[in-house]
């Protein structure tokens, strides 16, 4: 299969240790009659079908040939995959398998005659921009796919739920983006009443050849009111610790997997103390969209100019700047060429007259600057304007800065009021809160616990410290204003 088709069909093969576990969990602990129907949805080479056939044969006592002929169903959009699955199933038995329940069709639009006891698999992950002409048809037919940055696997969940019989179960490994994405809202609402168990791999990579943030979800047709949740970052499922989560406590706008203990703590804290966004402003830094043109380390400074490479820039046009993502408290010797006055870009005629050296430098970089925003840089008010207007005022002044991604809380005070910053966020107290006290609260274990519970993870254990996660942080330092009694 060529690479383009692989991408369009979301072809990524699941490692055996994951499939073993998923099949074991789905089939295990259930009374098996021998008549159950098992469907491998998006079978690829059939690893789910093969492992399920073996397991089912053991549980039911039926010979494997009969199991394949009577109990195993498999579907894939690709004929090649179906043939491969047949071959792999045949390898399980010395006797010739005379009948397969194979379906070469689009799982989302196939009319199935039967309902299933188990639907298992690794559905295709195909983002909306790669769905091409299928997009509109899916959006018309699937509530989970109505709007936003949806993915084909959303529809697999919805269809699979419809295909379960009364006691049926689903075991799928999929991306976990629907836990928190805006587009995942309908899917969240759809599956929450059926959730039995989630094992979230979070940032940890399960697949060898693809970067994907994934989770295994176990659903059942029968309604549930609570489910089990665990995270797992290793190549087995030993010592996995589940926490029980009540569906009632799941927020609609994004899923946060708080156990009852953490939730109680937060509710208690929230009653007494304010959130970070109530006591402080959180702002983005400067965004030039071409930092290496605007930001430099001078090798010489005199009373009029800052010098770097073969250029010199008027000193009065430069401000010190801090790179939040790498800042560790030391002077970084970075300066920003800041062609703004009162948050307005300095017009060309004035700029050319007042800052001839800087203008000469910008002219030498004009082609690069105009390439910003996919060529949209040509339409900026002046070609030397920043790519975004954020932080033109708010990035200055006393502040606490942090990177957008950290292994642990890393908040630093920047005292130089004239210094700007980029590649991160700044936090500025709204009232008279002392900067040192606020910084200490932000660097506390409570922040670590908060981020661990609410934030997204990335490779290498990094957590997102985005504004959307920081804003709800609660700390005993953030006293609620007391009502005035007299």
Ligand X SMILES: C[S@@+](CC[C@H](N)C(=O)[O-])C[C@H]1O[C@@H](n2cnc3c(N)ncnc32)[C@H](O)[C@@H]1O
What residues line the site for ligand X (CB under 6 A)? 9-14, 42-44, 47-48, 75-78, 81, 106-108, 121-122, 124
Strands 300-301, 305-308: pairing kind: antiparallel
Phi and psi at 391, nearest 5°, equal: 75, 5
Concatenating the DSSP letter of every residue in 363-417 gives: HHTHHHHHTGGGGGGGGSSSTTS-S--TTTTTTSSSEEEE-SEESS---EEE--T
CA distance 280 to 442: 12
Entry field: residues in the chain: 486
What are 275's two structure tokens? 């959130």
Give the residue among 366, 367, 342, 362 at the shortest CA–CA distance from 351.
362
Closest distance of CB 242 from ligand X, Å: 24
What are 407's two structure tokens? 């292994």
Q: Is the CB of 75 or the CB of 395 nearer to ligand X?
A: 75
Q: Is the CB of 119 or the CB of 451 nearer to ligand X?
A: 119
Closest distance of CB 123 from ligand X, Å: 6
Residue 384 zone, left/alpha/beta (φ > 0; ψ -120 to 50; rest): alpha
Q: Is the CB of 54 or the CB of 467 nearer to ligand X?
A: 54
Q: Is the CB of 112 or the CB of 273 nearer to ligand X?
A: 112
3-state class (DSSP) for residue 453? helix
The Cβ of residue 93 has, within 10 Å, a number of other Cβ atoms equal to 17
Q: Is the CB of 21 or the CB of 355 nearer to ligand X?
A: 21
Q: Is the CB of 83 or the CB of 370 nearer to ligand X?
A: 83
Q: Is the CB of 62 or the CB of 159 nearer to ligand X?
A: 159
CB-based contact 144:186 (threshold 8 Å): yes
Q: Is the CB of 71 or the CB of 174 nearer to ligand X?
A: 174
Closest distance of CB 37 from ligand X, Å: 17
Concatenating the DSSP letter of every residue in 52-114 gives: HHHHHHHHH---HHHHHHHTEEEEES-HHHHHHHHHHHHTT-SSPP---EEEES-TTT---SS
Closest distance of CB 47 from ligand X, Å: 5
Which residue lies nearest ligand X, judged by its C-beta? Answer: 44
What are 98's two structure tokens? 């005379």
């Amino acid at each position: 299969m060529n690479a383009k088709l692989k991408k369009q069909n979301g072809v990524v093969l699941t490692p055996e240790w994951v499939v073993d576990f998923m099949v074991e969990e789905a089939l295990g602990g259930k009374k098996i009659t021998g008549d159950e129907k098992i469907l491998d949805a998006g079978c690829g080479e059939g690893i789910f079908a093969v492992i399920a056939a073996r397991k089912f044969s053991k549980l039911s006592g039926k010979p494997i040939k009969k199991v394949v002929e009577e109990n195993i169903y498999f579907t894939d959009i690709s004929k090649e995959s179906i043939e491969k699955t047949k071959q792999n199933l045949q390898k399980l038995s010395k006797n010739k398998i005379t009948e397969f329940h194979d379906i070469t069709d689009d799982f989302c639009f196939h009319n199935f005659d039967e309902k299933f006891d188990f639907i298992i698999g690794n559905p295709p992950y195909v983002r909306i921009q790669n769905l091409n002409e299928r997009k509109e048809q899916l959006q018309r037919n699937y509530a989970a796919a109505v709007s936003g940055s949806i993915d084909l696997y959303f529809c697999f969940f919805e269809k699979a739920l419809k295909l379960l019989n009364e006691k049926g179960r689903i075991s799928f490994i999929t991306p976990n983006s629907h836990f928190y994405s805006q587009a995942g809202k309908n899917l969240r609402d759809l599956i929450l009443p059926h959730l039995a168990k989630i094992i979230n791999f979070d940032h940890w990579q399960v697949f060898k050849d693809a970067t994907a943030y994934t989770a295994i979800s176990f659903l059942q047709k029968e309604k549930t009111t609570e489910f089990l949740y665990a995270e797992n970052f290793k190549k087995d499922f030993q010592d996995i610790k589940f926490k029980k989560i009540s569906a009632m406590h799941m927020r609609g706008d994004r899923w946060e997997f708080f156990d009852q203990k953490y939730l109680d703590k937060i509710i208690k804290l929230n009653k007494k103390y304010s959130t970070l966004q109530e006591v402080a402003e959180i702002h983005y830094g400067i965004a030039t969209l071409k930092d290496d043109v605007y930001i430099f380390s001078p090798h010489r400074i005199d009373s009029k100019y800052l010098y770097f490479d073969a250029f010199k820039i008027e000193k009065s046009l430069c401000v010190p700047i801090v790179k939040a993502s790498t800042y560790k408290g030391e002077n970084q010797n970075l300066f920003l060429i800041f062609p703004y006055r009162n948050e307005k870009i300095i017009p060309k005629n004035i700029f050319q007259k007042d800052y001839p050296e800087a203008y000469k430098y910008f002219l030498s970089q004009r082609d690069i600057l105009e390439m910003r925003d996919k060529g949209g840089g040509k339409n900026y008010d002046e070609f030397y304007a920043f790519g975004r207007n954020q932080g033109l005022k708010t990035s200055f002044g006393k502040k606490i800065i942090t990177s957008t991604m950290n292994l642990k809380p890393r908040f630093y005070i920047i005292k130089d009021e004239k210094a700007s910053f980029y590649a991160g966020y700044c936090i500025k107290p709204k009232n008279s809160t002392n900067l040192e006290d606020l910084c200490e609260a932000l660097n506390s274990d409570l922040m670590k616990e908060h981020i661990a519970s609410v934030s997204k993870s990335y490779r290498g254990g990094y957590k997102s410290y985005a504004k959307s996660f920081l804003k709800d942080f609660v700390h005993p330092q953030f006293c609620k204003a007391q009502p005035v009694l007299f």
